[in-house]
Chains A and B, each alone.
Chain A
């Protein structure tokens, strides 16, 4: 899989502090990558560098195989929701999106149409002509998120997209992102690991200005050495009998947890044994029993 974004050894200094210290990351085309790291680890600076807002002191950036960001080349191909950005207080959402669409090369008709559709998708259709300063914090966030998807860019960078949204709107945005996952390459920075787990195919752990680990979410949680079954009815003792493989089975009500040594067995081996035995009790879900948060916090 080719990289939609590739950064090698990116360095950015602010005085003595190195915000990026050899940040190397290849974002596969079509992937949704979650950036996970504590405050000040360099996630935002990396996004700003990729979008050309911040001038790195060293390293290489390549976007879609066309070099570092150049609005003349990448304009309309890359969308970004930057952190802590506001619009002029008297600007109007519908007009702004249409103007930006035209700057991306759309005709006026197409830009206005795209503006209308996006505002509808983000539940802002009735606020198209309202002034920016009259919008609530959540509405502003939705508008700024919407503009990142204007013109269906190939690459979208979202810095804390769900922060400040109410549960209904957060869910709407999650579904919007999920619906686009196959079509667009996305990078999402969030402190909500549950969101990263739900939305992303890959995760990159960022510490002190560099990526310390990048992997698929599936492998990260699948390698946990644990399988958890949620059942509709309490299982019998016979169904929980484990082969002599060193597996440890524990049941608590409708939840059955099997721990195994991932260096000796795979989750498929466990499933091949237990699923036929547990099916009569109504298997509601099967998961690795280990969340991204568990992995991140080393639990």
Chain B
């Protein structure tokens, strides 16, 4: 039996186990709820803006259901505002204004939530197996590297439908709350953003499992993962104060490639997607340096 089959076998076990695990289902449920709440908040926010805009422009006051939003979104002043906000980056500008505002707001939410989702779903996966001893039943059948890589692939495979599910929940909320905003055409855009969020999750799954490889308790791994999230979150800001070679350390931060996920430029997007996957494997490998040397006892 070759290594690829064993890795895919581990991934299949991971998927099956996650569907039976209450923790994973709970994390997924939380994410779906957060998606619904975020969309509820987004629609409320837009509705509020609509009412104010209508009042200022002396238009008949709408009912906050999205018609004005569509007009405002396409207006020149608004687009000028976006253009200056993205430093005249044409690809990014096109990526932002070419989208439905609700899809964009969903993207902001899901890109923000993906690191935590990945950590909560993945940080315990290896540490708990080591603690319970379950790891031994696998390591007598597959190599350590195969097991870890299989876990990574399995978790990635789990998050894709999870993120798509979150998009569907948010879409349903958008349709219910703002039927006039063109929400009917929103679904493909939201699903595309869910896919992009999945690419972002590839890096964070690597962080989560990398941390999980180094400790022997799921809760400690989750805590350390959240710490890693905070460190990687403030790292770009800290690095902006530095100069020279340190600046290049930004390449280690998943957020460094997040902006390109909004872009319409295919090469830029593809490069970021590859780099996010590379980051994931990098963090997984860092953890593996510890895991490959430690005792599974």
Residue ranges of A at the interface with B (Cβ–Cβ < 8 Å): 48, 51-55, 70-72, 75-76, 78-80, 82, 84-88, 90-92, 95, 99-100, 102-105, 131, 144, 147
Contacts and interface: CB of A to CB of B under 8 A. Distances in A.
Interface string B117-151: 00000000000110011101111111110100000
A95 B293 CA distance: 31
B133 A86 contact: yes
Contacts of B20: 88, 90-92, 131
Nearest to B131: A86
A87 B132 contact: yes
B140 A79 contact: yes
B238 to A, nearest CB: 37
A82 B295 CA distance: 14
A88 B137 CA distance: 11
A93 B125 CA distance: 20
Contacts of B9: 99, 102-103
Contact of A54 (B22, B141, B295): B295
Contacts of A85: 132-134, 136-137
A80 B143 CA distance: 15
20 contacts: A48-B296, A48-B297, A51-B140, A55-B295, A70-B143, A71-B141, A71-B142, A72-B6, A72-B143, A75-B1, A75-B142, A79-B140, A82-B137, A85-B137, A88-B20, A88-B21, A88-B132, A90-B20, A90-B21, A103-B142
Contacts of A100: 137-138, 141
A91 B3 contact: no
A99 B5 CA distance: 12
The DSSP consensus for interface residues of chain A is: loop
Which of A87, A90, A131 is the most central at the interface, judged by chain B CB atoms within 10 Å of its CB? Answer: A90
A80 B136 CA distance: 9
A54 B296 contact: yes
Contacts of A90: 17, 20-22
B270 to A, nearest CB: 34
Top 10 closest A-B pairs, CB basis? Answer: A85-B133, A105-B1, A90-B20, A53-B296, A103-B141, A86-B132, A54-B295, A71-B143, A103-B9, A82-B136
A82 B139 CA distance: 12
B297 to A, nearest CB: 6
A99 B12 contact: yes
Given A48-B296, A52-B140, A80-B136, 18 more contacts: A48-B297, A54-B295, A55-B295, A71-B141, A71-B143, A72-B3, A75-B6, A82-B133, A82-B137, A85-B134, A86-B134, A87-B134, A88-B21, A90-B21, A99-B13, A100-B138, A103-B6, A103-B13
Given A95-B16, A104-B1, A80 B140 contact: yes
Contacts of A91: 17, 20
B10 interface: yes
Contacts of B132: 85-88
Nearest to A150: B141
Contacts of B140: 51-52, 71, 75, 78-80
Contacts of B1: 75, 103-105
Which of B3, B12, B17, B293 is the most central at the interface, judged by chain A CB atoms within 10 Å of its CB? Answer: B17
Interface of B: 1, 3, 6, 9-10, 12-13, 16-17, 20-22, 128-129, 132-134, 136-144, 146, 293-297
A158 B10 CA distance: 24
Contacts of A105: 1
Contacts of A95: 16
Contacts of B138: 100, 103
Contacts of A84: 133
A54 B134 contact: no
Nearest to B2: A72
Which of B1, B6, B128, B297 is the most central at the interface, judged by chain A CB atoms within 10 Å of its CB? Answer: B297
A84 B133 CA distance: 7
A103 B154 CA distance: 15
A52 B13 contact: no
A53 B137 contact: no
Given A55-B295, A99-B13, A104 B141 contact: yes
A189 to B, nearest CB: 15
A104 B9 CA distance: 10
Contacts of A80: 136, 140
A91 B21 CA distance: 8
A144 B20 CA distance: 19
B134 A55 contact: no
A147 B141 CA distance: 11
Contacts of A72: 3, 6, 143, 146
A100 to B, nearest CB: 6
B139 A52 contact: yes
Given A91-B17, A99-B16, A103-B10, A51 B136 contact: yes
Contacts of B294: 55
Contacts of B141: 71, 75-76, 100, 103-104
A71 B21 CA distance: 27
